[in-house]
Amino acid sequence: MDVTEYMTYDATGLAELVASKQVKPSELLAAARQRADEVNGRLNAIVVRTDDLADSIVDDPDLSGPFAGVPFLVKDLMQEVAGYPTSYGSRALRGDVATEHASVVQRWLDAGLVIFGKTNTPEFGAKGVTEPEYWGPARNPWRLGHTPGGSSGGSGAAVAAGVVPAAGANDGGGSIRIPAACNGLVGLKPSRGLAPYGPQTGESMIGMAVQGVVSRTVRDNAGLLDAIVGPHPYAGYQAPVPQRPFAEAVKDAPGRLRVGFSARSAITADPDPEAVAAMHEAAALLAELGHEVEEVTPPYDDEALARDFLTIWFANLAAEVELTKARTGATSRDFEADTLAIAEIGRAAGVVAAQQALGNVHGYVRSLVDFQQSYDLFLTPTLAKRPLRVGELTTAPLLQRLSRVVSKAKGGRVLAKTGILDDLVSQNLGWVPYTQLANLTGRPAINVPLHWTPEGLPLGVQLVGRLGEDALLLQVAAQLEQARPWAHRHPAPLAP
């Protein structure tokens, strides 16, 4: 199978070819490697190759599973592969070799996927762009000067460029949906508790961060979610597992739904007209498909939510930095200046601020539940702006040096008084103000790639569903995919 033919199939289609013995897993792996070699020098999407593992998988005569033989990539964050380092995008963890597979990785291996590399991510997944100092920036295959988003930006770029039909991702504040929107892909953040975590660590960010994939097609997203859901021995609790596989449920029409939509944001007063247009086009298409669609007032205060989200995020990052130092012997020189500044703000804010932010989460849950008494789905843009240019959010060198000095002096309270939190809200969440709601409330949310800007950049829309109604989101996404297909589109700059 040559690369051009390989790129026309999704993961489900490739698995069917292997199952019917029309192609060998080794042939698919060769095509994936060839495509990676063609494009990765320009994308910087793959940062670690796991070729020994991949070769052992395709050489296994007992290889089986619903995705047996399909090439796959995992994210270099919370998706550990035994025998290989997991850097979390940080120099501090460059030598941190995993002794066991992450639970989610083991389930992908059990499904027969052939993992041959790990993808780029910002340091500790702490940004919506993938520009770690350690690995260098990942780039968007649709326009190489722009970001593929983050924190699963490497995975998004690799899938959009045709290296693999789907790749591992995870989402603590939009990190599946943002790169899906930037790269023209499907990205579902599942309901809290469905996907496994660990066993290296417990549940990340009080359950805000969950595992999933970015994919070219909805059916791949459904099937790969089936591969990872279910009880695991290290879980502190277990969400109800759907009685019917997502891959089967996605074949059904969703029925007539009520959809409320809005692009309003206190953080971004003037969203990009293209983002608003993407939402209105999606609303119109949903109406054509028979759904009841209505513009609404957002059911929450997104500015307050952003502050609470960042307070929790900063506290979590402060703990990550200290734990990494204690476990590996890393020093502050091994971390990025932005990471140190954010961690210091989180440390200085103290336990009370973090606990207050956690306590406020229940209010957002209630507001969304009350809203969804009347509306089955909440539709927004996924991004408030077009994918940013690479380097657009890079902190000036002088401020980076200041951050290191203030961090070393434990001057987080001084930093807080400078208004840096307002700047961080505006800069880092100002272009993605719509995604954190689903993480704080634990609700499922999906990016659907329905829109491309005049200059050829993808710009997706987001649907947020009720807790546990992941199948409904996938059904609606599949309905939209059938009405306006997108999987045939490939980035012209990287055509094979």
Determine contact, residues 67/112, Cβ cutoff 8 Å: yes
Residue with tokens 């489900």, as numbered in its chain: 12
Helix (H, G, I), strand (E, B) or coil at 140: strand
CA nearest to 147, candidates 162, 157, 159:
157
Residue of 155, 175, 191, 204 marked active site: 175
CA 467 – CA 444 distance, rounded (Å): 6
Q: Are strands 461-464 and 377-381 parallel, antiparallel or unpaired?
A: antiparallel
Catalytic pick among 87, 90, 103, 151? 151
- The whole-angstrom distance between residue 206's C-alpha and the CA centroid of its chain comes to 17
Burial tier of 232 (Cβ tally within 10 Å: 0-12, 13-18, 19+): middle
Q: Which of 75, 118, 127, 385 is catalytic?
A: 75
Q: How deeply is 302 buried, as exposed, middle or buried, from its count of CB atoms within 10 A (0-12, 13-18, 19+)?
A: buried
- Identity of residue 395: T
Does residue 103 carry a catalytic annotation? no
For the question of residue 204 being annotated catalytic, the response is: no
Say which amino acid occupies 330: A
- Has 152 been annotated as catalytic? no
Assigned token pair, 376: 């089955």
Q: Which of 140, 124, 141, 122 is nearest to 132 (CA)?
A: 122
SS (H, E, C) 257-311: CEEEECCCCCCCCCCCHHHHHHHHHHHHHHHHCCCEEEECCCCCCHHHHHHHHHH
Please list the active-site residues.
75, 151, 175
